[in-house]
Chain A
Amino acid sequence: MARKGNRNGDKQSGRGTLSRRRMLKGAAALAGVAAGSGAITGFPLIWAQNIKGVTLRQFGTGVSNINEIAAKAKEDLGITLEMAALDSDAVVQRAVTQPRSFDIIDSEYWMLAKIVPSGNLQPMDTEKIKLFDKIVPIFTKGELGDKKIASQGTAPFKVSYLTGPDSTQFSATPTKWFTLVPTIYNADTLGIRPDQVGKIDSWKELLNPKYKGKASILNISSIGIMDAAMVCESMGEVKYGDKGNMTKEEIDKTMKVLTEAKKAGQFRAFWKTFDESVNLMTSGEVVIQSMWSPAVTAVRSKGVACEYVPLKEGYRAWAGGLGLSKALTGLQRDAAYEYINWYLSGWVGAFLNRQGYYSAVLDTAKANMTPDEWGFWMEGKPAQSDIKDPFGKVMEKASAVRDGGAFETRMGAVACWNAVMDENRYMVQKWNEFIAA
């Protein structure tokens, strides 16, 4: 979840120099959409020519702060992406209140429960997504391999389909109308400083008095409450029907456990942004905390040992994707579809996988990665040589193994998803009381 990170700067700007009229003329002249053929062998693909010079405004949390993607899109498609990265609360706020301020939203799935009812998103036609059938079935069918994926919380499958082209109702079964095309997703767990924390195997260690004054939890209520629930459940303090949709009573019990821990001085600080979590860990203020995968990598790249521990209760997963604004029509919409198709065609997937995220279509990403990279990031195999991030910086030395192992092992062990609950208002109120306690 480098969604908050914003490390690559705020904005990718630079408008295309083509005027609107020339753009339309070009559109009239070249109406044919050239299709990429086979997906796996699909490079070099031929992309639509009529969309050259189109500018799309994209904002969001996750991939919207990766300028390299915008640069590559410009190179391959000729479209200009104006990207703006915001924190998750601000994304919801803007999507709901200013629907005309964006063309493409890069949203997380849990936000959809708030954004879709506002009617500001336009469902995507699955037939226009060329690699739709190749998208990881976590999103399209709610399963992985032949296993059902955990459905506690806002599991992406539950909010992936709408009942019709103008609907604001989620459909429990697949339809032709898709809300978001997944971009990045991952499974989150606790991060520790192995030099100061021994071996741990359970979420309950977060509140272990051994780490008094050295623990931290993230202060974004909708995510923090899930981590808190994982902790309370593993301590045996609270039993949940659905951690992603708690009853008032469950919320009360969870917050009681956390408040007592806070009063006893368990927590050193709460963090809200990616950078804060990295700084807390590298400076040694905190030795155990809920963390995001790229943040762990960032700590390590500063030369501080940090481990992203697989825990027996499983992971809390999250996912983000690209959606279309209601206001998007005509050539702009064609360009947006083409951009999304390009997104799934492999280069971006490889780029994201190399940072420790997972991408939506695995086959095409694999074709763009070396066997060693694929083995390390996706199959849990020891690295044959140094593993570099997309910017050429060494992330892991040869023989390193990814924390938690292979893709199927990690995503298969998901226990719940980031969520918005029915009792959200009550939960936020209780969360604020906890922070103020």
Chain B
Amino acid sequence: MWAGVIDRAAARPVALKARRGRWWAAVTWLQVAPLVGVFSAFLVFPIVLIAVVSFWDYTEYTIVPDFIWRNYAEVLGSAVTYRTYLSTLKFAVLTWAITLVLGFTVAYFLAFHVRTLKWQMTLFLICTIPFWTSNIIRMISWIPFLGRNGIINTALISTGVVRQPLEFLLFSEFSTVLAYVHLYTLFMVVPIFNSMMRIDRSLVEAAADCGATGWKTIRNVVMPLSKPGIAIGSIFVVTLVMGDFITVRLMSGGQSASVALMISNQLAYLQYPAAAANAVVLLAVVLLIIAAMMKIVDVRKEL
């Protein structure tokens, strides 16, 4: 938008240019003002506040404005923090890998195997049906399904596949990752599908004409051209998992920790400064991850 405005202004006679230029600049500023205002009020200001509070001191029932490093020392000096980050990262990596494979496959099927646009859209909308119910409902409905006396175990025992109910199905890391995959695969499907729909079909034909097999075409044509979609989907999934506390609590039966769960516990015990310090560290880690992803795929360039 900026570039367009300035170009147009530059095309005018020189005498008008200065006056018009200032005028256009003012309009431009006005145009961006609402967005700047919203972002400042609801994004920048709260984050700055969190950063400020993270240096405060606290007791059981008060928070005391101060400048101390103790909160950070406690966060970074505790073995629990590292273990928690490790477990959160493990969930993030597992979920990312599984949703990527699933999401890519689904998107590929929709984009290249379904021939008509009508069917593509119909099937795409079907993918979104689970999202018509709330997150919590989708999670909780796994419990009667996976439980000790749940549908799967009952079926397995009655068909004689196992004798004892499989305990790992529920309240375990397995069930946590399963729920994440269930919740977040669509976030992978949508951007990848979007990228694939932009791929020029003649490129695929050209690949076939040059004798590439189906797999080679995917590997050398479709995958590179879907990179922006993959990157965006990955950002969605990774940040969602890194910031989650409710899925991990419900699906692990409260037995696994996550960074956000740790923050929510600290908030519950009125330890706002400690929670703030933790949140700042989490924010930094997530930003680093996103920066690394952006390093691999320059989304802006590729879009």
A219 touches B80 (CB 8 A): no
Q: Are B149 and A284 in contact (CB under 8 A)?
A: yes
The 0/1 profile, CB within 8 Å of B marked 1, for residues 216-228 of chain A is 0001010000000
Contact (Cβ within 8 A) B269 A428: yes
Assess the A118–B61 pair: CB atoms within 8 A. Answer: yes
Pair B257/A213 contact, Cβ less than 8 Å: no
Chain A proximity of B149: nearest CB distance (Å)? 5
**Judging by beta carbons under 8 Å apart, are A269 and B60 in contact?**
no
Query: Of B78, B83, B149, which contacts A283 at CB under 8 A?
Result: B149
Taking CB atoms, residues of chain B closer than 8 Å to A93 are: 267-268, 270
- B239 CB within 8 Å of chain A: no
Report Cα–Cα, A435/B252, bound state, in Å.
11
Cβ contacts under 8 Å, A433 to chain B: 80
Q: How far is the CB of A101 from chain B (nearest CB, A)?
A: 16
Interface size on B, residues (CB 8 A): 31
Q: How far is the CA of A428 from the CA of B78 in the complex (A)?
A: 14
The residues of B that contact A269 with a CB separation of less than 8 Å are: 171, 252-255
**A327 part of interface (Cβ distance < 8 Å):** no
Asked if residues B268 and A268 are in contact (CB atoms below 8 Å), the reply is: no
User: Within the assembled complex, what's the spacing in Å between the Cα atoms of A420 and B269?
Assistant: 11
CB proximity to A under 8 Å, residues B27-85 = 60-62, 78, 80, 83-84
Q: How far is the CA of A429 from the CA of B265 in the complex (A)?
A: 10
Q: Which listed segment binds A: B105-113, B140-148, B188-196, B291-299?
A: B140-148
List which B248-266 residues lie within 8 A (CB) of chain A: 249, 252-257, 262, 265
Q: Does A417 contact B (CB under 8 A)?
A: no
Residue B254 contacts which of A92, A272, A420 (CB distance < 8 angstroms)?
A272
Contacts of A97 in B (CB 8 A): 270
| B interface footprint on A279-290 (CB within 8 Å = 1, 0 otherwise) | 100011100000
* Residues from chain B with Cβ under 8 Å of A425 in the complex: 60, 271
Could you tell me how many residues of chain A have their Cβ less than 8 Å away from some Cβ of chain B? 35
Q: Does A89 touch B at the CB level, under 8 Å?
A: yes
Task: Tell me if A238 is interfacial: C-beta within 8 Å of chain B.
Answer: no
| A210 is an interface residue with CB less than 8 A from chain B | no
- Cα A40 to Cα B83 with chains together (Å): 60
A267 contacts partner chain B, Cβ-Cβ < 8 Å: yes
B262 touches A114 (CB 8 A): no
Tell which of B83, B254, B268, B271 touches A90, judged by Cβ atoms closer than 8 Å: B268
A93 to B60 Cα, complex, angstroms: 10
A97-131 contact mask (Cβ, 8 Å, vs B): 1 or 0: 10000000000000001110110000000000000
Are B61 and A268 in contact (CB-based, < 8 A)?
no
Residues in A whose Cβ lies below 8 Å from that of B167? 213
Distance, CA A114 to CA B59, complexed state (A) = 10
Contact present for B255 and A262 (CB under 8 Å): yes
B170 within 8 A of A: yes
- CB of A321, distance to nearest CB on chain B (Å): 19
A sample of 15 more A-B contacts (CB under 8 A), given A283-B148, A432-B262, is A117-B60, A262-B255, A267-B255, A268-B253, A270-B254, A270-B255, A271-B254, A279-B143, A283-B144, A285-B148, A428-B265, A429-B78, A432-B80, A435-B265, A437-B83
A-B contact pairs, 16 of them (CB 8 A): A96-B270, A114-B61, A219-B254, A262-B255, A267-B255, A269-B253, A283-B143, A283-B144, A283-B149, A284-B147, A425-B271, A428-B271, A432-B265, A435-B255, A436-B256, A436-B262
